[in-house]
Structure 1
Amino acid sequence: MKKLKFIIVAVFVCFLIVSGKGINKSYQADTIPKNVEALYTSNFYKFQDEVNSLVILTEHSKSPTEFIALQKQVEKTRLVYKSIEFIFDYYLTAYNGTYINGAPLPKVSAYYERGNVIEPSGLQALDEAVFKAPTKENMEHIKALANGLKERVDFVENTHLPIHLKTSQIIECMRSGMVRVFTLGVTGFDTPGSVNGLEESYASLKSMKTTFLLFEAGLYPEAKPKFKAINLLFKKGEELLNANVSFNDFDRMVFLNEVINPLYSELLAFQKINNIKLEPYKKHAQNYQAENVFDINFLDANFYSELVYLPLDNAKTIALGEMLFKDPQLSNGSKMSCLSCHDPNKAFTDGLPKSKSNMEGIYTARNSPSLINAGYSTRYFLDMRAFNLEKQVAHVIDNDLEFNTDFETIISKLNTNSEYLKLFKDCYNGISKQDINERSISNAIAAYVNALKSFNSPFDKYVRFETEEYPEHAKRGFNLFMGKAACGTCHFAPVFNGSVPPFYMESESEVLGVTQGFDSINPKLDEDLGRFNNDLFIDKQRYFKNAFKTVSVRNIELTAPYMHNGSFETLEDVLAFYNLGGGVGMGLDIENQTLSEEPLHLTKQEIKDIIAFMNTLTDTSGFIADKKGSFISH
């Protein structure tokens, strides 16, 4: 009997060997990861060597000639870093964004320095510094940055290596790498001083291609055509990035449609055909089942609402939330509902500079932001004072100028309504002793707001290959938005808000130097301190003075007037303000402005083109307004 079993097993093993499946599975699980680990480790040490060379160079750079050499060494160091970034950032996202290659701005990190301010550090800070004047102070700053980078890279070597990978994670790293190249590379976000985004993107893409080629020896037969197709896409990307065009002239629309989205899709198909499990290692907002960067489900809104009372994608709670959203009973004296400031016909804004309050002739402090796609964020309100959609509800309810009431009063009202009693029981029965409570009310409204999604605009359909029709001036506008105009370095694709790619785990604010009305002759800084005054201890930092959340520009043609104070009446005014370099560019003294003060030099036609692009982001197809101003979502 044992002999028979042995023969059966032997025959089965022979079958696997002949078919290649046994070898492929073993090769994918063991050999491919080891080969990628070896390549990654080699490149990491090259990066570390370049950092060491940079430190040595800063010790001796004193003359203008030596400063040019320093610039070149920073450039070389960054290019070598790009060979490891798509893997390094995947595993060490917070550390990378804080110390190795984060934006050159002060930070307060929950992970490091116990909540103290962390001054700008790392590769982006170096890229910016070496393209400033070679003053004695700047040279000392560059020296400190280089030594700080060396200290952290040496620390990472001891804690990060040896690295252990899985084939599924390698694919995931590459797909996130595609998002990074598109959103942070070719936009110039990553190269604030050198504007070397195309060359660095080329280095990133080339490294991912080299890594992908290591899969060739472990292919299943049916995966070979897909492997070849992906290799050709990588080559296409290299050709576009290496075509000797200027940063401003690079065609980002072609790059998106012919390289990034096809690669993002084909890598997923390759993973499935080659029998590599879909088993994400990293917890973040990107949905790896999506096939296109602009798919409706590219980001998982549930990532942003993990700690809520009940998951926000529940159909019953969404319907209940819609009723509450429209119901003035929730306010003191039944004077207001959520609809009062968030009209579906105006993309859930109110069309006023500052929203009406519960008192005649009195207005709130700020402009009403759109609620569409509001769920794709880690912070809420323009001053970012709330950490999830449920908590946002409480701020409206107890605000003296808004609902001016409390949950106990609202609960008492709703408990007298038989329809609400039934609906709350259907949704929340058994979770708490009382079905109608503070958490369930907040959860229902949050579920409804979270359901307000808009990803079927003309632009979306074009880049998802659902239509071939798209205006030429809007294409030009997209290229300007993502390039010369630098809009895409704050309003990140695909939501075009401040949620930072490629993992979308953090939402940003910006200091723009917004003025009291658009007056380029005698500008006056708006006095609202924004995030600095949101009553959160961690945000009480000088660099958050006048900082406001970066909101989405989707549906922007419906949401005038603009800015947190509603003082810019048209998109032309908004673009003119940015074109001048914000408040500082207009002559105001603002120590902490994050918007570059350098003029954009946009022509009138270029401004028209950018607006034409943004207008193609309009999509209210999921909302139908009725005669009472309410609406039904579908």
Structure 2
Amino acid sequence: MKKTIAVIIAVLGFAFLSLKVSGPGDSSIGVDHTLRSFKTGVDDFIKTNEQLYVAIDGINADSASVLTARKALKDCRRSYKRIAFFTSYFFPSETRFYNGAPKFEVEEPTLELVEPMGLQQIEALLFEDDVLAGKSDLLVQSEAMLTSAKDMHALLFGIKINDAQILESVRIELIRITTLYISGYDAPMLKSGITETLEATNALQNVLKPYFNANPELGKPLEKLLSGSEIYLNAHQDFDSFDRMQFLTRFALPIQKEFGDFVSKLGLVINTTPYLNYEAPHIYSRNALKNWDDHGTDSVQKKALVDLGRTLFFDKSLSGNASTSCATCHQPGNYFADQLQKSPSLVRDSVLRRNTPTLMYAVWQHSQFWDGRVANLQDQIHNVFLNPLEMNGNAAELNGNVLQKEEYKKLINTSFPGKNVQDLGISEASEALAAFVKQLGTMDSPFDQYVAGDQTALTDRQVSGFNLFMGKAQCGTCHFPPFFNSLLPPLFDISEVEVLGVPVHDDFEKPELDADLGRFDLYKMRYYKGAFKTPTVRNAAKTAPYMHNGSLKTLAKVIDFYNKGGGKGLKLPVEDQTLSANALNLTERESEDIILFLESLTDSKPENQNFSN
């Protein structure tokens, strides 16, 4: 145990000595104030870590001692959220230690394991069935946290920051509040997400004071919204009953918009992130993220590329026996799925290994296929084209059999100016198909209309369903806004995989664990056994059946599966399930409300969007 702590401290100590942050600009409206606030926050974090260690050391056979430790952890987490915006932005590697996920993380491609550590791991241990048995592990975690907290002041050694960086750290924290904190993402069992949201909001209000003081008229709308948010959060602190929709539409999303306008008028906008689009009003805006799979720069060329991809999508001559197109399995009328448990393969009387997912919003992932085995849409298309079970295409014959068709001539010339048709092949075909797939996802569902201001777009029960989805039911801790998939906020630079313990069928009285090992087939790490990508639930009401094997026929069965605690909750032998095995205790009406919310995520019909030929 001591060795583990020593290694952690040594690594952090190296970071302290080597860190130096700098950026453009030389303004200093709030730098001194922010640094003073951070130092004060660190002092409080040290104090609450000391109290947490004492509480953990005092755990005994009396259950009251465990409750005391849990309360100390809540206090420690609240104090951390006062400085989280700063540590997450300026010291991201250290933040991973303080508040990392309570599971083993696999670093790819080196396949190094990162042990669970920090506040989330302490929470997990404090909610084990036999907490006393894990006391020694708790003490190791708490001692490491306390030692690290005491060294946090050293993080400021040699640091150089500016106002633009501070304001960007605030902007990113606002996204974190909107997408993660209110869902209880990093404290699912403590259910302290709303009180932590209040602490984070108070911290941001404090950091922004110098900017408001220097620009009183300009800052009034934002300051008023932040104050209103604090009042609302103070008055509504119960996690399960918290009205997230009201909080978002009245405060959180307007705050993001006003903040963007405020920083822009100050001339202090910087964007160090690869995917966030600061020109978008808020994170639920359709243009909230930069499209990292963009094609071309010229709008005429881009349109031609999409049109070429659309035409290829329905062309059966892409397949080896000219019997199958992309649309055979990804049917526009079925929201680019096929409503089958598993699609037929090209081999007679056989089916594909996994369920055919929708292509809508597929671009908003950092990996493709259920096991995430390729990095982008083009690689996925290439893989499907050559797969003997799916399309059995022939790369050598693609040019002559498909791309030199007269109907493609004009589109190809516009899409690939300066290239000879004879030189085109799978790379260009994949690029065109990816361009088409990229724009499948309109974000025009009733939910999107409601968030955009149409208060009649959702029923009260659909609003209730959203609140449950992002709260008590914990769906939003894996299906992250705004695409409700595995794209992790606030930077959206990671697509997560989860181990759920999915059964072979939906008879939960006699469950049987599916034998598909998922990502483990790619990387032989035990923590990847049964790991699959989390798909979008946008349009889920139209894309049954569900899960990687299509085993759950209805949304009601999906909700029931999660309500029971996944495979482990069904007593299946799931060794490293990332989903909590604890029952959610949803009532029948609550489950129905969640389904009603999922139905509200249905976009307008694809055939009305000119997706079919």
Counterpart position of 1:607: 591
Counterpart position of 2:380: 392
Q: Secondary structure at the match of 2:260?
A: helix
Displacement after TM superposition at 1:346 (Å): 0.8
Q: Secondary structure at the match of 2:28?
A: helix
Counterpart position of 1:380: 368
1:362/1:127 Cα in 2 relative to 1: closer, same or farther (>3 Å)? same
CA distance, structure 2, for counterparts of residue 28 and residue 235 of structure 1: 29
1:323-362 residue pairs with structure 2 within 5 A? 323-362=311-350
1:153/1:347 Cα in 2 relative to 1: closer, same or farther (>3 Å)? farther
Question: Residues 44-91 of structure 1, C-alpha deviation per residue, up to 9 Å, x if partnerless?
Answer: 344345445545665565564655443333222211110111222123
Counterpart position of 2:39: 41
Displacement after TM superposition at 1:433 (Å): 10
Q: Secondary structure at the match of 1:475?
A: helix
Q: Secondary structure at the match of 1:332?
A: coil
AA at the equivalent of 1:612: L
Counterpart position of 1:544: 528
Give the alignment partner of residue 169 of structure 2, picking from 169, 173, 193.
173
Give the alignment partner of residue 587 of structure 1, picking from 571, 577, 584.
571
Counterpart position of 1:3: none
Counterpart position of 1:6: none
Q: Which moved more, 1:474-483 or 1:144-153?
A: 144-153
1:473/1:53 Cα in 2 relative to 1: closer, same or farther (>3 Å)? closer
1:136/1:467 Cα in 2 relative to 1: closer, same or farther (>3 Å)? closer
Residues 495 and 554 in structure 1, CA contact (< 8 A), matched pair in contact too: yes
Give the alignment partner of residue 197 of structure 2, picking from 201, 225, 231.
201
Displacement after TM superposition at 1:353 (Å): 0.4
Counterpart position of 2:514: 526
Counterpart position of 2:286: 296
CA distance, structure 2, for counterparts of residue 136 and residue 467 of structure 1: 50
1:57/1:580 Cα in 2 relative to 1: closer, same or farther (>3 Å)? closer
CA distance, structure 2, for counterparts of residue 205 and residue 250 of structure 1: 16
CA distance, structure 2, for counterparts of residue 380 and residue 155 of structure 1: 41
Displacement after TM superposition at 1:28 (Å): 8.6
Q: Secondary structure at the match of 2:608?
A: strand
Counterpart position of 1:96: 95
CA distance, structure 2, for counterparts of residue 56 and residue 520 of structure 1: 43
Displacement after TM superposition at 1:244 (Å): 5.0
Residues 29 and 163 in structure 2, CA contact (< 8 A), matched pair in contact too: no
Question: Residues 176-204 of structure 1, C-alpha deviation per residue, up to 9 Å, x if partnerless?
Answer: 21221122112111103311111111111
Counterpart position of 2:85: 86
Question: Residues 316-362 of structure 1, C-alpha deviation per residue, up to 9 Å, x if partnerless?
Answer: 22111112211112110112111011011111001100012123432
CA distance, structure 1, for counterparts of residue 573 and residue 69 of structure 2: 31
Residues 456 and 621 in structure 1, CA contact (< 8 A), matched pair in contact too: no
CA distance, structure 1, for counterparts of residue 323 and residue 312 of structure 2: 14
Unaligned runs of 5+ in 2: 1-24
CA distance, structure 2, for counterparts of residue 67 and residue 117 of structure 1: 30
Displacement after TM superposition at 1:428 (Å): 2.4
The TM-score normalised by the length of structure 1 is 0.86
Displacement after TM superposition at 1:475 (Å): 0.8
Counterpart position of 1:232: 224
1:406-555 residue pairs with structure 2 within 5 A? 406-430=394-418, 435-533=423-521, 535=522, 539-555=523-539
1:487/1:404 Cα in 2 relative to 1: closer, same or farther (>3 Å)? same
Is the counterpart of residue 140 in structure 1 residue 149 in structure 2? no
Is the counterpart of residue 264 in structure 1 residue 271 in structure 2? no
Give the alignment partner of residue 242 of structure 1, picking from 218, 221, 234.
234
The TM-score normalised by the length of structure 2 is 0.89
Is the counterpart of residue 188 in structure 1 residue 184 in structure 2? yes
Q: Which moved more, 1:184-193 or 1:610-619?
A: 184-193
Residues 313 and 325 in structure 2, CA contact (< 8 A), matched pair in contact too: yes
1:435/1:237 Cα in 2 relative to 1: closer, same or farther (>3 Å)? farther
AA at the equivalent of 1:529: L
Question: Residues 241-285 of structure 1, C-alpha deviation per residue, up to 9 Å, x if partnerless?
Answer: 222542111111111111101101111121233x323221x2232
Give the alignment partner of residue 105 of structure 2, picking from 104, 107, 118.
107
CA distance, structure 1, for counterparts of residue 348 and residue 298 of structure 2: 38
CA distance, structure 1, for counterparts of residue 240 and residue 207 of structure 2: 30
Q: Which moved more, 1:448-457 or 1:41-50?
A: 41-50
Is the counterpart of residue 286 in structure 1 residue 286 in structure 2? no
Displacement after TM superposition at 1:156 (Å): 6.2
CA distance, structure 2, for counterparts of residue 411 and residue 156 of structure 1: 60
Q: Which moved more, 1:147-156 or 1:409-418?
A: 147-156
AA at the equivalent of 1:263: I
CA distance, structure 2, for counterparts of residue 31 and residue 456 of structure 1: 41
AA at the equivalent of 1:40: F
Counterpart position of 2:604: 620
1:45/1:330 Cα in 2 relative to 1: closer, same or farther (>3 Å)? farther
AA at the equivalent of 1:70: A
CA distance, structure 2, for counterparts of residue 420 and residue 334 of structure 1: 17
Q: Secondary structure at the match of 2:36?
A: helix
Displacement after TM superposition at 1:378 (Å): 0.7
Q: Which moved more, 1:507-516 or 1:142-151?
A: 142-151
Q: Which moved more, 1:198-207 or 1:230-239?
A: 230-239
Counterpart position of 2:14: none
1:310/1:155 Cα in 2 relative to 1: closer, same or farther (>3 Å)? farther
Counterpart position of 2:247: 255
Residues 478 and 534 in structure 2, CA contact (< 8 A), matched pair in contact too: yes
AA at the equivalent of 1:597: A
Q: Secondary structure at the match of 1:510?
A: strand
Q: Which moved more, 1:541-550 or 1:158-167?
A: 158-167
AA at the equivalent of 2:332: P
Counterpart position of 2:17: none
Q: Secondary structure at the match of 1:215?
A: helix
Unaligned runs of 5+ in 1: 1-26
Give the alignment partner of residue 353 of structure 2, picking from 354, 365, 369.
365
Displacement after TM superposition at 1:364 (Å): 0.3
1:523/1:89 Cα in 2 relative to 1: closer, same or farther (>3 Å)? same
Q: Secondary structure at the match of 2:124?
A: helix
CA distance, structure 2, for counterparts of residue 136 and residue 553 of structure 1: 39
Is the counterpart of residue 276 in structure 1 residue 264 in structure 2? no
Q: Which moved more, 1:85-94 or 1:208-217?
A: 85-94
Displacement after TM superposition at 1:423 (Å): 3.0
1:54/1:249 Cα in 2 relative to 1: closer, same or farther (>3 Å)? closer
Q: Secondary structure at the match of 1:624?
A: helix
Question: Residues 87-144 of structure 1, C-alpha deviation per residue, up to 9 Å, x if partnerless?
Answer: 22123445534x2212211101259xx5311121111111222233564541111122
Displacement after TM superposition at 1:217 (Å): 2.8
Root-mean-square deviation (CA), in Å?
2.7
Displacement after TM superposition at 1:152 (Å): 5.2
CA distance, structure 1, for counterparts of residue 303 and residue 156 of structure 2: 44
Counterpart position of 2:206: 210
Question: Residues 468-499 of structure 1, C-alpha deviation per residue, up to 9 Å, x if partnerless?
Answer: 44211101111111111111111111101111
Residues 343 and 350 in structure 1, CA contact (< 8 A), matched pair in contact too: yes
1:586/1:257 Cα in 2 relative to 1: closer, same or farther (>3 Å)? same
CA distance, structure 2, for counterparts of residue 311 and residue 148 of structure 1: 54
Counterpart position of 2:15: none
Q: Which moved more, 1:48-57 or 1:578-587?
A: 48-57
